[in-house]
Structure formats: C-alpha cells, structure tokens
C-alpha cells in the first residue's frame, strides 16, 4: 500500500557552503515493516532521482541503516525570523527566544542582495563589510553575554548566507539578540560634493533553530522512521509535503516447509489476523490464545486463492473491526472456541456437521428475501498497478448480465483489496452469495447446538418447507 506518512518531527533547514539543505523525519507506523527505498517519492518523482540525497531507515526491515537515524538524531525546533538587522544607534537589536530545554542553537544570517558599493557612474565597485554581533542570556536574567562575532564581506550582488552554531553551558530557554556594528546604509548622497554611492549591505536574521539532545520520537520506541536529507537549492521550493512510499508489514508468516511461523513481510490475511491478536500493537496480545492449526489452514486457503490484505489504518478504530476486515479479505470469520481464537472459512464443505430435524429442534422459521435482483456492483478501490495506488473503479456484472446491460448497480466496499483481478473475484463471490443464499433459517436447540460453528455446513429435514419425507428418532440400538 502506498502511504503518505506524517512528519515524526518538524523539518529543519541548514546552509552548507552556498547550498540550502532540508532534513525531514517521517513516521510510517509501527515496526517492523519492510520498506523498498526505490518506492519513496516526493509527489510523482522518486526521491533517489534528486541530487545530493541521504536516506536513513529504521523500520525493522532489511534496508535499515546500521547506526539507525543519525540525520535527525536530536529534537529541533525551527523558527523563520526574517528580521532586518540594524546597528544599536538605528534600532533595537533583533531579539528571539529559543525553545524550552535548548542545548544549542544554529542560526542563519542572510544578505539577500549581497555586499556591494557602486558609484553613481557605475565605474567603481568596492568591497562592503558588515560585522554581526550575537549575544545571549538565560531567560529571566539581566546580563547579556557575547556568543559570537562574524563578518560579511563582498563585492557582488549575489546573495550571501552564513550559518553559525553555538552551544550553551547548560540546558534552558535563552534569549538571542543580533545587531551590527556599523549603520545600515542604503544610499549616500553627499549633496553632489562627492561621488554618490549605492550600497547593498542589508542583512537579515533569517532562521533560528533550537536543538535538544535525545530521540526526536522518544514517546514511541516502536515507531518505524525514515529520515531524508536533500539539497533544496535548485531542486525544491519549500519543504516537500507529498512524501510517499510502499512499506509491507512484517509479521509471523506460516511456512509449510518448516511447519512453523516465521517472521517475513507478508500480506496474507491469516498472518495479519494472527498478528492483530497477539502482536505488540494489541494491548491484550500477550493474553490471547491462538489455535495455530486453524490459522495455518486459513493461511493455506488464502495462499491457494491469492487472497491479500493491504490497508493503511490511520484512523480511530478497534481490534475487533480490523480483525473482521482482515479475515473477510480471505473469506474468513474470526471466532473463539473454548477461549481459543479460530478462523472459520467460507469454502466448499463435504459432509454436513449436523442434520436439523423436528426431532432435535423446535421453533423453526424461514425468511426469504424477495428484493429486486442485483444487476451488478461498482467497487471503488486503490489500485496497486505499477505501485501507484491510485483511485480506481471496477464494475462487476451479476450472472446473466454484462457490463453494458447492467444498468442498476450497487456500491460494494472491499477494504484492503488493491489488486484489480482480486477485486473482480471477490465481487463475483458476493454477487453469487446474494443470488444463492436468499433464505435465512432460524431454529432452537438444546445442548446439541454447541457442536455447530459459524460457516459450518448443515442440512434440514423439515416438513413445513417440504424438505424430506418424514423424520424419526432412535429408540433402541439393539
């Protein structure tokens, strides 16, 4: 399933030399999952098709980096300032406050028009120099301390960016201020007594980043993370918000060869249903009892029929609803027998489990639906063709109809099914079910009913519906 994961932490930008870089951290969900790095895209463009890209994964899969996430190893809070810096004689210094519990800061100062002095006749160009002073103090205190002093020098109208880093003595929330030692000069016109000059010397406090040591996603050690650092210069406009990728969940998958459950990337409904019940994501998973033989049979049935489940669950739901959806993708139904979880499979059965007659039941009632015949169904789904997972639609006619002759269509939802051929196959199954199972029978039984389970095959002998000639009961075995 192609997903558009949310940010796990706020993106931040950096200046390295003359290049602008952006670093992003994404939360794909819960570990473990297998991630195809070639599937990662910004919009429709593969991430690896960009230049100067670094990728780190910590998803619990085979493509994880040995060191984990190092591109985004700390918590960072970025503030876009964009304030012009003047001398103290011209205006108050530019002041900003760091995030709480800051260990160090990085800041970017920009001269968007470069550093340049040009004479009125355009013949003479001179260097322009500006010195910036950075001071700090712990919030709530009065004394300012100089952190750094650095200069801009240039003889060009090309933009100049400089980034600096400063580490505080102790963690806390600090006030940062900047000012320049010389006045900000736009134009000098000495009344015509000398060669008038035009200055490019505007300097801006562009960005302030507050850093804190520690895991940026410290509240969830099981989060599957992907970090991407990319050169934004000449490639991006702003921070990309259309990152997407195709992960596959890793769970215990049945192996007929080993006759046991082995960890693997899988979309088999049996493996996923079992993981839902006993996996780490289920708060009560350590107390669930599983009948592995039943789930192994369900796995073989799904494998033989090509049934798969693929869905990104990013909404509020509960274990039971998800479990039912996953099992339904493989024509199964979860149930508990003596405290153990089993899966009943809707498949062709041999001998009946029981024969219901007036001798072992009472209160028999039959209900038959006389609704208008369904001519077909319209299924909307996310198509996995070419790993794009775009919205698609398939019209499946009922028996006796074609796509052209089927005029009145019912909407059918098939959660977790993304293969167009499988959508057609499952839709046909539900259409035949509606056609061949129009009747519902109800009856009462004593203790005999405990041998019957959902989706079991039973037969009736009931004179009220003219099924069977007559019934009897055993009165002697001699």
The 10s digit of each residue's pLDDT in 364-373 is: 999 988 888 8
- Is residue 42 within 8 Å of residue 243, measured between CB atoms? yes
The encoded tokens of residue 246 equal 């195709």
pLDDT of residue 125: 67
Q: Which long-range contacts (CB under 8 A, 24 or more apart) does 350-354 make?
A: 350/457, 351/457, 352/457, 352/458, 352/459, 353/451, 353/452, 353/453, 353/456, 353/457, 353/458, 354/448, 354/451, 354/452, 354/456, 354/458, 354/459
- Is residue 180 within 8 Å of residue 32, measured between CB atoms? no
- How many Cα atoms occupy the beta-carbon half-sphere of 319 within 13 Å? 15
pLDDT, one tens digit per residue, over 50-85 is 999 999 999 999 999 877 788 886 788 889 999 999
- Match 């004394």 to its residue by tokens: 143
Helices then strands, counting H and E runs in the chain, come out as 4, 32
The encoded tokens of residue 449 equal 């009913």
pLDDT of residue 113: 87
pLDDT of residue 172: 94
For 168-178, give one letter per residue: b (16+ CB within 10 A) or e: beeeeebbbbb
- Share the mean pLDDT of the chain: 89
Q: How far is residue 108 from each of residues 124, 150, 210, 445, measured CA to CA in Å?
A: 30, 12, 12, 79
Q: At 78, phi and psi to the nearest 5?
A: -110, 135
pLDDT, one tens digit per residue, over 163-222 is 888 889 889 999 999 999 987 776 444 444 345 466 788 999 999 999 887 777 766 778
Helix (H, G, I), strand (E, B) or coil at 268: coil
Find the helix packing angle between 319-328 and 269-278, rounded to 10°. 160
CB neighbours of residue 156 within 10 Å: 14
Residues 6+ apart with CB under 8 A from 350: 457
Helix (H, G, I), strand (E, B) or coil at 345: strand
The encoded tokens of residue 193 equal 């007594």
Q: Is the dihedral of CA 48, 51, 57, 62 positive or negative?
A: positive
For the CA atoms of 274, 278, 280, 286, the dihedral, rounded to the nearest 10 degrees, stands at: -170
pLDDT of residue 215: 72
Reference 27, options 70, 61, 58; nearest CA is 58
């Amino acid at each position: 399933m192609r997903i558009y994961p949310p940010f796990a932490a706020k993106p931040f930008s950096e200046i390295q030399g003359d290049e602008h870089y952006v670093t992003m951290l994404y939360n794909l969900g819960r570990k473990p999952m297998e991630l195809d790095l070639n599937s990662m895209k910004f919009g429709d463009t593969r991430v690896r098709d960009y230049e100067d890209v670094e990728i780190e994964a910590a998803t619990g899969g085979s493509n994880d980096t040995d060191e984990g996430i190092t591109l985004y190893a700390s918590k960072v809070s970025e503030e876009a300032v964009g304030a012009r810096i003047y001398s103290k004689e011209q205006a108050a210094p530019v002041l900003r406050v760091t995030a709480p519990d800051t260990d160090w800061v990085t800041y970017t100062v920009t001269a968007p028009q470069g550093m340049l002095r040009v004479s009125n006749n355009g013949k003479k160009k001179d260097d322009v120099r500006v010195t910036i002073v950075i001071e700090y103090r712990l919030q709530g205190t009065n004394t300012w301390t100089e952190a750094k002093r650095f200069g801009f020098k240039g003889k060009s109208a090309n933009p100049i960016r400089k980034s600096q880093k400063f580490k505080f003595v102790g963690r806390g929330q600090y006030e940062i201020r900047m000012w320049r030692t010389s006045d900000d000069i736009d134009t000098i016109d000495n009344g015509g007594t000398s060669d008038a000059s035009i200055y490019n010397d505007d300097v801006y406090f562009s960005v302030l980043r507050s850093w804190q040591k520690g895991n940026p996603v410290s509240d969830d050690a099981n989060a599957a993370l992907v970090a991407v650092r990319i050169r934004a210069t000449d490639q991006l406009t702003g921070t990309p918000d259309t990152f997407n990728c195709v992960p596959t969940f890793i769970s215990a998958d049945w192996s007929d060869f080993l006759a046991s459950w082995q960890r693997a990337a899988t979309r088999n409904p049996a493996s996923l249903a079992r993981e839902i019940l006993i996996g780490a994501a289920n708060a009560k998973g350590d107390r669930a009892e599983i009948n592995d033989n039943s789930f192994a049979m369900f796995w073989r049935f799904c494998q033989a029929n090509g049934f798969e489940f693929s869905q990104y669950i990013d909404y509020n739901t509960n274990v039971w609803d998800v479990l039912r959806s996953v099992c339904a993708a493989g024509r199964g139904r979860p149930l508990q027998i003596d405290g153990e979880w089993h899966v009943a499979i809707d498949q062709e059965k041999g001998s009946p489990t029981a024969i219901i007659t007036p001798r072992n039941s009472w209160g028999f009632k039959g209900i038959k639906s006389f609704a208008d015949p369904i001519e077909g169904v319209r299924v909307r789904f996310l198509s996995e063709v070419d790993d794009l997972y775009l919205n698609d639609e398939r019209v499946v006619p009922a028996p006796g109809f074609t796509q052209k002759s089927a005029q009145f269509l019912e909407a059918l939802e098939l959660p977790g099914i993304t293969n167009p051929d499988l959508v057609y196959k499952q839709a046909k199954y539900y259409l035949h079910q509606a056609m061949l199972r129009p009747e519902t029978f109800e009856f009462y039984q004593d203790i005999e009913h405990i041998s019957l389970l959902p989706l079991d095959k039973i037969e009736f002998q009931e004179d009220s519906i003219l099924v069977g000639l007559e019934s009897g009961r055993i009165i002697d075995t001699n």
